[in-house]
Amino acid sequence: EVQLVETGGGLIQPGGSLRLSCAASGFTVSSNYMSWVRQAPGKGLEWVSVIYSGGSTYYADSVKGRFTISRDNSKNTLYLQMNSLRAEDTAVYYCATCLAGGDAFDIWGQGTMVTVSS
């Protein structure tokens, strides 16, 4: 079964760091382009970052320089390292991918909640 499972969310103080994980099953992370999308409480969807199969990475301006996307091919897992966290980073973080070809997100994880608060 194709599945994405995010873990690593929690309550963190402003300025702190957190690493999110997204474990994939049923397909190979390194063969697909993988993204992080977040959703603040009661708000819409916001694209955060992408890593392509070739390894290129891109970030939203709002997280550039603070967040790092990466993957561990041996664990078939995607990561999002989040540093210098701010209150406005509070959101549910989803990992998503496009298995059917193209770049529409056809597979999403269940999301993990990150709360940045003192």
Partner 1 sequence: EIVLTQSPDFQSVTPKEKVTITCRASQSIGSSLHWYQQKPDQSPKLLIKYASQSFSGVPSRFSGSGSGTDFTLTINSLEAEDAATYYCHQSSSLPDTFGQGTKLEIK
User: φ, ψ for residue 31 (rounded to 5)?
Assistant: -95, -5
The yes or no reply on residue 102 touching partner 1 (CB under 8 A) is yes
The yes or no reply on residue 94 touching partner 1 (CB under 8 A) is yes
CB atoms within 10 A of CB 50: 19
**8, 108, 113, 115: residue in contact with partner 1 (rule CB under 8 A):** 108
Name the residue among 54, 41, 112 with its Cα closest to residue 82: 112
The yes or no reply on residue 27 touching partner 1 (CB under 8 A) is no
CB of 57 to partner 1, least distance (A): 11
Name the residue among 85, 54, 58, 77 with its Cα closest to residue 5: 77
Which residues between 28 and 67 bind partner 1 (CB under 8 A)? Answer: 35, 44-47, 50, 58, 60-61
CB of 96 to partner 1, least distance (A): 8
CB-based contact 116:108 (threshold 8 Å) = no
The single-letter code of the amino acid at 72 is: D
Q: Which residues bind partner 1 (CB under 8 A)?
A: 35, 44-47, 50, 58, 60-61, 94, 100, 102-106, 108-111
